[in-house]
A and B are shown apart, each in its own frame.
Chain A
Amino acid sequence: DTAVSQTPKYLVTQMGNDKSIKCEQNLGHDTMYWYKQDSKKFLKIMFSYNNKELIINETVPNRFSPKSPDKAHLNLHINSLELGDSAVYFCASSLQGPDTEAFFGQGTRLTVV
């Protein structure tokens, strides 16, 4: 069983569209994250949720809206997509606290044309 799974793996869409990426973890973790990896491979946190509560919102445009229906799911909805949103988006999960490791999904490659 995949520990952290994201869908879709690839997403190609036009500017201005709205799209969602889904993430599910079966590890029983309390905390989930969204990271963005840009074209230069740089990884940066976007959001984190702990038990469905937003903990981190790292200066992300409000076109990006995470939603956590339960602690095993963290979805990312993006409105009015722009060319600059093209990136690989990774979902991750961990237990709560700094001395824990994060488990990552396979990533969603978003291409905005």
Chain B
Amino acid sequence: AQSVTQPDIHITVSEGASLELRCNYSYGATPYLFWYVQSPGQGLQLLLKYFSGDTLVQGIKGFEAEFKRSQSSFNLRKPSVHWSDAAEYFCAVGAGGSSYKLIFGSGTRLLVRP
């Protein structure tokens, strides 16, 4: 069955430090992978997506993610975190063909130290 695992419930980084959020997926076919961010009291905003091609994808707000098929991973990175990046981050895989849906990981809460 398809699934997404985000092993880190919380991550705390200092402002200006680099960030990596982990995501592992289980999916039999070519995965369609997404990272969404949810700020407090807000909906989900798409940061970036991977469908095919270059395995390093660039997103909004300075985020990037690298798809590694051999590791079934799609980790999110940012070289220098800003205080405004504090939020909940969700990795998701698109699955189901004609019954398409997003399967989400459990999320990682990012806290930013001043």
Please list the residues of chain A having a beta carbon within 8 angstroms of any beta carbon in chain B.
Answer: 4, 31, 33, 35, 40-45, 48, 55-56, 58, 90, 92, 94, 96-107
Contacts and interface: CB of A to CB of B under 8 A. Distances in A.
9 closest cross-chain pairs (CB), A and B = A43-B104, A104-B44, A104-B43, A106-B43, A45-B101, A99-B51, A98-B94, A41-B107, A98-B32
B11 interface: no
Nearest to B51: A99
A42 B38 CA distance: 12
Contacts of B106: 40-42
Interface of B: 32, 34, 36, 38, 42-46, 49, 51, 88, 90, 94-104, 106-107, 109
B100 A101 contact: no
10 contacts: A33-B101, A40-B106, A41-B38, A45-B102, A45-B103, A48-B100, A56-B99, A90-B44, A96-B100, A98-B94
Contacts of A33: 101
Contacts of B45: 104
A58 B101 CA distance: 10
Interface of chain B: mostly helix, strand, loop or mixed: strand
A103 B34 CA distance: 12
A44 B104 contact: yes
A101 B49 contact: yes
A90, A98, A101 — most chain B CB neighbours (10 Å)? A98
Contacts of B96: 56, 98
